[in-house]
Structure formats: C-alpha cells, structure tokens
Amino acid sequence: MDFYIVLGLEPSATLSDVKRAYRRLARKHHPGINPGDRTSMAVFRRVNEAYQILSDPEQRRRYDARGGVPDPQPESSLEFQGFDFSASAGAETASTFGDLFADVFQGGDEVDGPGAGGTDLHLSIRISFDESIRGTERSVALVRLERCTVCRGAGVLRATEGRCNDCLGTGSLRWVRGHMVFSRSCTHCGGSGRQQHRTCERCRGEGSVRQSESVSVRIPPGIADGGRVRVPERGHAGRRGGKPGDLYLTVEVEPHPLFRRDGNDLHLVLPVAVHEAALGAKIEVPTPDGPRRVRVPAGTQSGQRFRLRRRGVPALRGGQVGDLFVEVRLVLPHVVDERSKALLREFGKLNKDNVRKDFETSGRDVSE
C-alpha cells in the first residue's frame, strides 16, 4: 500500500501535514468510536502503520528509497502445540524470553483482511460568492487508488493448482524453539496446502493501483463557506475488492464586495444622498438576482433598514429563501462650487431648528 495515499497526502508533505492527517483519520476510524466495525478497525490500523513510518525521518527515508513499497507483512495464525523434549534446548540460539518469542509473533500486526474498505479522500475547492448562491459544477483533479483491472481487485492471479512448496501441502509451518513446539498457518498458500494463486505484479497484491483522474462534482445552491460535499465511492479503492471510500470536498467561498451573509439572509449597506433621503427617491439596489428598484421614503434616516423578502440565499436542503436587508447610509456631497454652498446655507437657515430639536428637548448632557 502507498502510505502517502493512506493518509491522503503528497510525497512532499511535511511532518506537520502527516500529524494533522493522522489525527483526522485516527479520530474518524478509531475502534472506540466505531465499536464492532471491522472495516474501520482495518482502516485505523493502516493509518497507524502509515503514520509510524512517515513520522519517523529515518524510516521515511528508507521507505522513499524503496520507491514507496513497504516490506510485506504476511498474516498468520499461531498455535502452541506443546513441548518436544527430544529436541535439545541448546540447539536453538534463543536465550531469553524475548528472543524466544521474537519470531513467533513476527507479522502479527497485519489486520487488513480481504474486503477491507478504502479510505476517504479529502480535498478543498474555491468558488465565487455568486456560485455559492446559484450552485455550480466543477471538475476536480485528484490522485486515488483505483481497483486493479488485471486482477480485478483480488490482488492475486489464478494459476494451475499444485502442492504448496513452502508447507509441502500440510497447510501449516511447524518449528521448535528450545523444547517448545509452535505451528502457524502457511502464509504462502493461506493454510490450504495448495498453490492456487500468484501475486498480481501490477498492483503487488494490493488489488489497487494509483492513478490520476478528473471527477465532475455538483456544488448545490446555498452552500456556505466551509461546507462539505460528499461524492460516494470516489475515494481510495478498498483492499482486495473492498468497497471504495468517499470523496469529501470542503468548499471555500470567496467574499463578496457588497453582500455579507448571515445564515440564509444577506446584508447590504446602501449609500443614499442627502436630498434622496430628505425628499424620497426610487433607488436601484443590487440583489443576487439582479438590480431591483426600491422606494426610499421621504425623511429616511441613516442606519434605517429595509427588508426585501426572498432576495437572500436559497436553503441548502430546500425550504424558504432568505431575505435581503438593506441598511441606508447617508453620504454627504462634496461641495466645491459657490452656488451649492449658497443653497446649503439657505437650507440651513430654513431648517436650523429641525436637526437638534428632539435632542435638545431630551435634556441629554453632552458637555463631556
């Protein structure tokens, strides 16, 4: 298996990238979170194995030097068959308890049985604000493990049946350590005693190969920044014909220069001239569906808000469309000519009591 693909990383990934990917996948597939789920347990063990290699600089260097091909770890079952006192205890080199069992449990960590599910693939995609509201379709380039077409995901090729040369047809391997006798299932023939298959050379027995492809993904209308889109069975292929994982796309939405999103509602600050607010006017307001003319009543104050129903963001899973809230912001003109200055002075004389009338009668102390 390719440890980089197991963690969803590129070979150039840093140690921090390896740790982040491991924490994310370990939390998702931990046996404590998925009790009784053999597929999650198998994925968790593969993720842990990949992390142990890629987080250690020396092991990672050796792994990369071998071209990303890990040493095979065949699965085996162990059985203690008792004692054989006809064998000399001094005939073996094992002298300590640890050494005695060193070769007994070799390869015992392998848990990826036939049919193990594939790991999920996580990518991110960036779309515009308008695309997030209307929805869009994007083509995503990815590298994933695909089922091997030569062995059809089995990892082995059928061959002429014959007696296994390793166990001589018995289906088990037996050996003595000191006066103890052990046996385990033959890993070469799987305990059958017959040689029926040979490892697929294209996928090296994994049942899957690494390949690049382009996937078309539909982004639904109304998706928010940080939302995820799931594409079923477009993750990595399962081991030995197991079900593929899923592809998850995290959506990053570019900010809009005018609109601010709050749930399914949109907020907009609308500049309004003093004479428009005082006398009233019909002003063109931008909306996601195009500009709309909105009537600003006479006497509108700065900060006053108007609500345009169903001009916001569509609900992601159906339902009512949000609203657009327009906040008025009065903008003073740049007075440069004498005629405009004279008119403003005249306007001020005619309305000098209007601006602070309510303020003065409120008795508010503003000396500080």
Summarize pLDDT for 62-75 with one digit per residue, the tens: 888 876 655 444 44
Of 42-46, 60-64, 163-167, 318-322, where does mean pLDDT reach its minimum? 163-167
What is the chain's mean pLDDT, rounded? Answer: 79
Q: Which CATH architecture has domain 1-71?
A: Orthogonal Bundle (1.10)
Band (321; pLDDT cuts 50, 70, 90): very high
All CATH 2.60.260.20 domain ranges of the chain, comma separated, are: 74-253, 260-361
Mean pLDDT across the stretch 154-165? Answer: 71
Band (50; pLDDT cuts 50, 70, 90): confident
pLDDT at 361 over 60: no
Band (155; pLDDT cuts 50, 70, 90): confident
Question: Between 338 and 192, where is the model more confident?
Answer: 338
Question: Is 0.85 surpassed by the pTM of this model?
Answer: no
pLDDT at 108 over 70: no
Of 161-175, 202-216, 332-346, where does mean pLDDT reach its minimum? 161-175
Mean pLDDT across the stretch 271-276? Answer: 93
For residue 101, what are the CA distances in angstroms to 94, 95, 98, 326?
A: 9, 11, 6, 76
pLDDT at 197 over 60: yes
pLDDT digits (tens, 9 = 90+) for 237-268: 887 667 889 999 999 999 999 999 999 999 99
All CATH 1.10.287.110 domain ranges of the chain, comma separated, are: 1-71
Mean pLDDT across the stretch 225-245? Answer: 87
Mean pLDDT across the stretch 267-272? Answer: 96
Question: Between 76 and 19, where is the model more confident?
Answer: 19
CATH 2.60.260.20 describes domain 74-253: yes
pLDDT of residue 270: 95
pLDDT of residue 139: 94
pLDDT at 141 over 70: yes
pLDDT of residue 58: 83
pLDDT of residue 85: 47
Topology at the third CATH level for domain 260-361: HSP40/DNAj peptide-binding domain (2.60.260)
pLDDT of residue 199: 77
pLDDT at 53 over 90: no
Percent of the chain at pLDDT > 90 equals 34
Residue type, 60: R
pLDDT of residue 223: 95
pLDDT at 86 over 70: no
pLDDT of residue 179: 52
pLDDT of residue 106: 42
